[in-house]
Amino acid sequence: PSIRSYPLIRMSDSGKEFLFKVLVVGDIGVGKTSIIKRYVHNFFSGTYKSTIGVDFALKVLNWDSDTIIRLQLWDIAGQERFGNMTRVYYREAVGAMVVYDVTRPQTFDAVQKWKTDIDNKVFLPDNNPIPCVLLANKSDITPSKQIKSDEEIEQYIQENNFAQHFKTSAKENKNIVEAARFLVQKIIEATKDIVEDADKDDDDYGNTVSPNDRKPEEKEGCHC
Ligand code: GTP
Ligand code: MG
């Protein structure tokens, strides 16, 4: 059987191409959609339109002279934390951004719930947790009360296994590119030694295999 490194999608004389599925989660209204819109379309709107279910965006990165990375961003509605669908949405993800709103402390309290949800439901093929970054969004606004000091945040991310934290603003385009770049670097490091059996992979994605032929544990997570 042929083997290939994970999650490589194409390899040719001109270089390698990877597809990374990245989750963007966090409570309602923290700015997930705004961060993605800023990052992918360099666009910001002050009007709030809540996401329903999940939305998608693609950002193509010319990572280095012979590597292209396709970042598939899954914009998961904040409301989904109260639903059963996250396991389905998280499938095959290799990284995540967990977002909170610096002006609303309760959105920071929810960070741990999102992180635990991710760590319980999605793993890299070597069973390690997927790399996550923590984004303190709306940092263009000075909150009436600071949620955590820089030292406390530093300790918090270590205790909760976040790779890094960033103070972002979708409005002012602050630190979003940096956070994404950092996360991609972590994903590359976390996945570079993983090789997948290409034949097995065909079973997972190929259209010749019906869902009923899959192993029971692969179907287990699906509530749809
Ligand atoms: P759900 O889809 O409901 O989960 O919300 P969301 O996390 O996608 O939030 P969304 O991006 O829709 O933003 C919510 C509101 O916050 C909107 O009115 C945005 O304009 C505003 N907003 C988002 N990011 C920022 C930011 O960095 N600064 C400021 N000042 N406002 C922001
Ligand atoms: Mg949204």
Q: Is the pLDDT of residue 204 over 70?
A: no
Residue 47 alpha carbon, nearest atom of ligand 1: 18
Say whether pLDDT at 127 is over 50. yes
Work out the burial of residue 160: count CB atoms within 10 Å of its CB; fewer than 13 is exposed, 13-18 middle, 19 or more buried.
middle
141 lines ligand 1 (CB under 6 A): yes
Question: In DSSP terms, which residues pair with 101 in a beta bridge?
Answer: 137
Q: What is the pLDDT of residues 177-197, one digit of tens each?
A: 999 999 999 999 999 888 766
- To test the pocket of ligand 1, the residue of 28, 33, 41 to mutate (highest count of ligand atoms within 8 Å of its CB) is 33
pLDDT at 100 over 90: yes
pLDDT at 3: 61
Q: In the prediction, which pLDDT does 215 show?
A: 42
Q: What is the pLDDT of residue 12?
A: 78
For residue 205, is pLDDT > 80?
no
pLDDT in the model for residue 197: 64
